[in-house]
């Protein structure tokens, strides 16, 4: 999640190009001997350092249980979903996969994931309801164990806010006011930018406003991307771009890094993993940033959305489903594993108990000026609105990128772009044959 740098996307492009030329890699995990006795599991994941966490398992609890886990590093991103589906079609899917929450319905719909409610369903109490629901898709089944989450927050340059006499916005109205006030005082600076190149942020902002993009109605999907809540969010950001109160250039570019590092942009709406991104994007301004709750639509509330977050799923191809589920449960609920995940992989654990204390007792290095960083983050995370994903999130996300990019570029209304996103999503569902209710 937090590794959405240009380099990572380039790596993904390179990986994808290799994929294009030679589909179906031979490193699937279907060759183990059948279940009984010691099990050896393969795990496709992209989070860095996961192999080290798996080593702790292999040397400790895994050794006792006779279950060895081998992590095979993947490039994160949309094409991993396709890779897993393709591998599953060939009956060669790995035992375990790291999957973003919004990819779960797609994977379930392609019959890739196993229902592990029997093996790991008792872990429900360890997670916040909104997160757990994303792993069950609101059904009795359990398709994955939540690993990390990305509650949205507001990051700002403390020193520059002081310099320009700005107050930290607590509502979106105040946010717009802050953006305008900054433009008046320093016309060449921007509070932030509206970026069209990461649909996840927009999805999170819509969740905060109460949007539920995909819901089921009997045996039909209901798509509500162009609903009043999302429209409110789209109009808000579109308005700011149109009047020139904020920038309209994409994030994660060298220019964006520089803007953050030199104070040309002085705030960023981002998730709990932002310290990692800021460390590489804006190294010179370490210690000058601060984190506050996301501005609210109604003053005094504590609601936020999620940007990113992933889970550990067991595939239907696995010959050792039980062993795989045992490992997945250990990885995402055991205190030793969670501490290692925080330390080695830098994730913000989804398990509620691990969100304070332990490895998260101390603020991230970049935010050493805000010692209560994670206490505050845990309080914000409690207000995480549930997310509702459907079987073609990728299609909606591509439609977002293309339509909102054009709207942001032309400083046009975002309304038509949102309608286009809704239409593209519904049209794709219908084309595939899904039941769609209007």
Partner 1 sequence: MTRAPRGKAYGIKSAPYAFLVPATVLFLLFFALPIGYAVYLSFRRTEVEGLGLGKGAREEIWAGLANYTDALSDPELLHGALRILGYGAIVVPVMLGLALLFALLLDTDGLRVRGFSRLAIFLPYAIPGVVAALMWGFLYLPDVSPFLYLLDAAGLPQPDLLDGGPLYLSLANIAVWGGTGFNMIVIYTSLRAIPAEIFEAARLDGCSQLQIALRVKIPMVAPSLILTFFFSIIATLQVFSEPTTLKPLTNSLSTTWSPLMKVYQDAFVNNDIHAAAAQAVVIALVTLTLSFGFLKAANSRTKQGDSR
Q: Which residues bind partner 1 (CB under 8 A)?
A: 6, 9-10, 13-14, 16-17, 19-20, 78-79, 81-82, 85, 105-106, 108-111, 137, 139, 196-197, 216, 219-221, 248-250, 252-255, 258-259, 264, 391-392, 394-395, 398, 401-402, 405-406, 408-409, 428, 432-435
Task: Choose between 166 and 259: whose C-beta lies nearer to partner 1.
Answer: 259
Least distance from C-beta 433 to partner 1, angstroms? 4
In 3D space, the residue among 72, 13, 21, 62 whose CA is nearest the CA of residue 323 turns out to be 62
Least distance from C-beta 138 to partner 1, angstroms? 10
Least distance from C-beta 2 to partner 1, angstroms? 16
Residue 152 burial (CB count, 10 A): 28
- How many helices and strands (H and E) does the chain possess? 18, 10
Alpha-carbon span 415 to 394, nearest angstrom: 20
Task: Choose between 384 and 394: whose C-beta lies nearer to partner 1.
Answer: 394
Question: 386 by DSSP, 3-state: which?
Answer: coil
Least distance from C-beta 400 to partner 1, angstroms? 10
Task: Choose between 20 and 34: whose C-beta lies nearer to partner 1.
Answer: 20
Least distance from C-beta 268 to partner 1, angstroms? 16
Task: Choose between 185 and 258: whose C-beta lies nearer to partner 1.
Answer: 258
Task: Choose between 338 and 426: whose C-beta lies nearer to partner 1.
Answer: 426
Least distance from C-beta 382 to partner 1, angstroms? 30
Paired with 44 in beta bridges are: 72, 97
Task: Choose between 195 and 326: whose C-beta lies nearer to partner 1.
Answer: 195
Of the CA atoms within 13 Å of residue 299, those in its CB half-sphere come to: 4
Alpha helices (H) along 22-157:
50-59, 61-65, 78-89, 104-109, 117-120, 129-136
CB 372 within 8 A of CB 291: no
Residue 125 burial (CB count, 10 A): 9
């Amino acid at each position: 999640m937090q590794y959405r740098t240009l380099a990572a996307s380039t790596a993904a492009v390179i990986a994808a190009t290799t994929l294009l030329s030679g589909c179906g890699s031979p490193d699937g995990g279907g060759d183990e001997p059948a279940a009984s006795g010691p099990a050896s599991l393969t795990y496709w994941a992209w989070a860095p350092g996961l192999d080290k966490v798996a080593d702790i398992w292999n040397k400790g609890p895994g050794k006792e249980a006779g279950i060895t886990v081998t992590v095979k590093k993947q490039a994160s991103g949309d094409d991993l979903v396709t890779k897993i589906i393709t591998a599953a079609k060939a009956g060669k899917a790995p035992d375990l996969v790291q999957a973003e929450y919004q990819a779960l319905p797609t994977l379930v719909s392609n019959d890739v994931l196993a229902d592990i409610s029997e093996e790991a369903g008792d872990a429900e109490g360890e997670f916040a309801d909104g997160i757990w629901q994303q792993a069950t898709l609101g059904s009795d089944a359990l398709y994955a164990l939540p690993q990390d989450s990305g509650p949205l927050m507001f990051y700002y340059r403390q020193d520059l806010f002081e310099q320009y006499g700005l107050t930290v916005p607590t509502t979106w109205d105040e946010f717009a006011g802050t953006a305008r006030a900054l433009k008046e005082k320093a016309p060449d600076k921007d509070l932030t930018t509206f970026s069209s190149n990461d649909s996840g942020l927009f999805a999170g902002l819509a969740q905060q406003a109460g949007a539920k993009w995909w819901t089921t109605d009997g045996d039909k999907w209901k798509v509500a991307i162009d609903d009043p809540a999302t429209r409110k969010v789209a109009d808000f950001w579109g308005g700011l771009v149109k009047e020139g109160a904020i920038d309209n250039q994409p994030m994660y570019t060298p220019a964006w890094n520089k803007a953050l590092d030199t104070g040309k942009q002085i705030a960023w709406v981002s998730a709990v993993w932002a310290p990692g991104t800021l460390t590489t994007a804006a190294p010179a301004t370490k210690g000058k940033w601060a984190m506050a709750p996301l501005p609210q639509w109604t003053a005094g509330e504590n609601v936020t959305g999620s940007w990113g977050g992933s889970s550990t799923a067991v595939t239907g191809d696995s010959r050792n489903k039980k062993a795989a589920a045992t490992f997945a449960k250990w990885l995402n609920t055991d205190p030793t594993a969670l501490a290692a995940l925080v330390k080695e992989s830098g994730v913000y654990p989804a398990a509620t108990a691990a969100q304070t204390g332990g490895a998260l007792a101390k603020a991230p290095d970049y935010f050493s000026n805000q010692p209560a960083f994670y206490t505050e983050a845990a309080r914000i995370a409690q207000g995480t609105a549930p997310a509702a994903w459907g079987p073609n999130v990728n299609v909606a996300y591509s439609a977002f990128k293309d339509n909102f990019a054009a709207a942001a570029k032309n400083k046009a209304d975002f309304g038509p772009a949102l309608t286009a996103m809704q239409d593209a999503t519904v049209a794709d569902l219908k084309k595939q044959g899904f039941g769609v209710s209007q």
